Amino acid sequence: MSKMIGQTWKEMHEAAKEVQNSRKISNHMEAGGVAAAVLSASNRIYVGVCVDTACTLGICAERNALFNMITNGEKEIKRVLAIMPNGKNGAPCGACREFMVQLMEKNYQNVEIMMNYEHGKVVTLSELTPNWWL
């Protein structure tokens, strides 16, 4: 079931779009194909982009945004939104889900993930990661 897109989701979507800029960094590295925005418990929006490398040492946009949040002294997330290279939204990968659950292990059930901005489809992290470490 879809929901109306609220102002915060709009701000997150715009913030992610602003940093999304697919580009070649070197012969072995590209960045910016995927962009993400996370909303912290203090209602600040942090952004990040993916960094893809030839040797798999890259990082996903979601974790990059979360590292940005942690670097700025915060540790709780409320919402996550990622924009894929085709402009659509998508679910975080398994590594990002695991990172978010470990970060929010006592309250990960309430973290909202934007699945489809166009249709307002939002799910919780616990729906994407059921039975974590049980």
Q: How far is CA 94 from the centre of its chain?
A: 12
Rounded to 5°, angle at Cα 112 from 106 and 115: 140
pLDDT of 72 higher than 50: yes
Q: Is residue 133 part of a domain?
A: no
Q: What is the pLDDT of residue 3?
A: 52
Q: Which contacts (CB < 8 Å, 24+ apart) does range 44-47 have?
A: 44/69, 44/72, 44/74, 45/11, 45/12, 45/15, 46/72, 46/74, 47/15, 47/16, 47/18, 47/19
Domain annotation covers residue 97: yes
Question: pLDDT digits over 99-131, tens only?
Answer: 999 999 989 999 999 999 999 999 999 999 988
What the block records as the tokens of 92 is: 């975080």
Q: What is the reported pLDDT for 44?
A: 98
CB count within 10 Å of CB 105 equals 10
Q: Is residue 84 part of a domain?
A: yes
3-state secondary structure of 31: strand
Classify residue 1: in a domain, yes or no.
no
Has residue 40 been placed in a domain? Answer: yes
Range of the domain at 74: 7-128
Residue 91's nearest CA partner among 112, 69, 114, 120 is 114
Distance CA 58, CA 45 (A): 22
Q: What is the pLDDT of residue 2?
A: 44
pLDDT score, position 5: 77
Name the domain count of the chain: 1
Angle of helix 61-71 relative to helix 94-103, nearest 10 degrees, comes to: 20
Mean pLDDT for 14-21 is 98
67: domain CATH number is 3.40.140.10
pLDDT of 4 above 70:
no
Q: Is residue 19 part of a domain?
A: yes
Question: In this structure, is residue 79 part of a structural domain?
Answer: yes
Q: Is residue 2 part of a domain?
A: no
Q: pLDDT tens, 73-91?
A: 999 999 999 999 999 999 9
